[in-house]
Chain A
Amino acid sequence: MSPAAAAAAATAPMIDVQDLYKSFNGFPVLKGVSLQMAEGTTTVVLGGSGSGKTVLMKHIMGLFRPDQGRVIVDGQDISTMGRQELSTFRERMGMVFQSAALFDSMTVGDNVAFPLREHGNLSEQEIAEKVKKTLAVVDLHDVEGKYPAELSGGMRKRVGLARAIIRDPKIVLYDEPTTGLDPLTTESVDEMILHARERLKVTSVVISHDIGSAFHIADRIAVINEGRIVEEGAPAHVRKSQEPFTRQFLATWFART
């Protein structure tokens, strides 16, 4: 581990992935991933397709169980939790999906209100107020009555974020938030992630292969290749990395700019 990473891990990290292994049908996807993320920071896990970054994120969410290793989130080992315990624990996390994963049979308002209706005991009026407020946090106004299909890709992402943060989670995970978006929308999604960190003080984990966006929003960057973290640190540190894969990966972007 680099000295910078060690310093970050000195205070108890919000997310602590320890020596994680995972195979599917005998094919190893994660081969000993260790990664710490401090509270209130934004970490971008950068890697190509098939590098194992999505599998890593699903472990942090508790959707997969590790073959070996541990995932400690907010001081609790989620890799050994039972389904009920895990279900309760997930209320501390929000996830923004690549496709936004909004329920297309519901309006935007109902989508954002969904976690509250499922878990809280707020009145409908309180829910409506909270939905309005949360949509305002992601700079959306008067869209409650619309259906997801009527929104642009960037707006859908923001509704997805609103749904993820409505119960005030401590951690927000973003799965490839800028994939397939045009440059302007990418910019606005980046701003959304930066705002969410500022306004809500959440710990953010961003899974991405978008190098430009990563250097824009990250406090720390971890580069993952073939199931291993090959480089990890502050953006400036990663930018100057001598590690061969990282250099090659970053060159695809920085060589052109």
Chain B
Amino acid sequence: MAEQTDAPSKAPPQWLKPLRAPFEFLGELSMFTGSSILAIFRPPYRVGLLFAQLEFMAWGSMFVVGLTGLFTGMVLALQTVYAFSLFNAQSLAGATVELSLARELAPIFTCIVVVARVGSAVATELGTMRVTEQIDALETMAVDPLNYLVVPRILAAALAAPMLTMLFNAIALFGAYGIAVWAKDLSPGTFLNRIQSLVQVKDLTSGLGKSVVIGFVVTLIACYRGYRAEGGARGVGIATTQAVVGGLVAIFFIDYIYTAISLSGSQQAAGGLGG
């Protein structure tokens, strides 16, 4: 440790060494987040780029989100009807399916699809732009890369995630209805009636709010990984892997925090984060 005399910071104690990398990562990510959020409010406001990203993220993900939703709803109906038939409560299946979909499964599964499809694409695209000096070129032409590249992507993700979540919800419910009513012979009236009486609007909005936060954060992580990529094709590959893995971990971490906060709030006062 003594050989680098002009190192800017004093050497930390030895036991801190393993903690250094994660803290550096969190520190850099926070700074990146801060400057990206500031860049949202700095003109020029790039509406055209925002819509181009929305088209890619929302419109382009509809098919795969719909497909995931359909099968999720179907399998959920199968499992719920089976489990509830053990104590003769099949009539609750519809409400249970929709509660778990609206509050948890729709936002989380949608965001997993977003990480796989959007996060990887964003990290690869920005990473390639970084290693081929396109991001430097933006800077030399007096264009803020955060404003030009990062802001449209994180805003589009925050908008696309709830739209896709709602789509997931609708298609998954359709799939669940199909299985419960047509394959498992539940009465359509019971299935729908219980949903109407037991599922509240705030269950839906809580899930949608969750998807906004998660969509924003995972895309921000992908932008950060791509933005900081270095070292050619291999570096871009590493950045993409890190973006997807980091995004997946972030989904479940934020999911827990968000749910804990919104549930603790809803007992004292209706509303809270989930509305």
Which residues of A are interface residues toward B (Cβ below 8 A)?
23, 25-28, 61, 63, 87-88, 90-91, 93-95, 97-99, 101-104, 114-115, 118-119, 163
Contacts and interface: CB of A to CB of B under 8 A. Distances in A.
A101 B140 CA distance: 11
A90 B7 CA distance: 31
Contacts of A97: 133, 136-137
B4 A26 contact: yes
A26 B8 contact: yes
Given A94-B140, A97-B133, 15 more contacts: A26-B7, A28-B6, A61-B140, A63-B136, A87-B144, A97-B136, A101-B133, A101-B134, A101-B137, A102-B134, A102-B137, A103-B137, A104-B132, A104-B134, A118-B143
A119 B142 contact: yes
B136 A115 contact: no
Contact of A99 (B7, B133, B139, B141): B133
A87 B42 CA distance: 14
A98 B133 contact: yes
Contact of A63 (B7, B8, B140): B140
Listed from nearest, the 5 A-B pairs whose CB atoms lie closest are A26-B7, A101-B133, A101-B137, A26-B4, A95-B140
Interface residues of B, number: 15
A94 B139 CA distance: 11
Which of B140, B141, B142 is the most central at the interface, judged by chain A CB atoms within 10 Å of its CB?
A: B140
Contact of B6 (A23, A104, A163): A23
B8 A93 contact: no
B142 A101 contact: no
Nearest to A88: B142
A90 B139 CA distance: 9
Which of A26, A63, A88 is the most central at the interface, judged by chain B CB atoms within 10 Å of its CB?
A: A26
A61 B140 CA distance: 7
A104 B126 CA distance: 12
A115 B133 contact: no
Contact of B134 (A27, A103, A115): A103
Contacts of B141: 90, 114-115, 118, 163
A53 B153 CA distance: 35
A238 B141 CA distance: 34
A78 B88 CA distance: 77
Contacts of A163: 141
Interface string B1-22: 0001011100000000000000
Nearest to B137: A101
Nearest to A61: B140
A101 B8 CA distance: 33
Which of A25, A91, A95 is the most central at the interface, judged by chain B CB atoms within 10 Å of its CB?
A: A95
B8 A90 contact: no
B233 to A, nearest CB: 13
A87 B142 contact: yes
Contacts of A99: 132-133
B11 to A, nearest CB: 11
Which of B7, B8, B133 is the most central at the interface, judged by chain A CB atoms within 10 Å of its CB?
A: B133
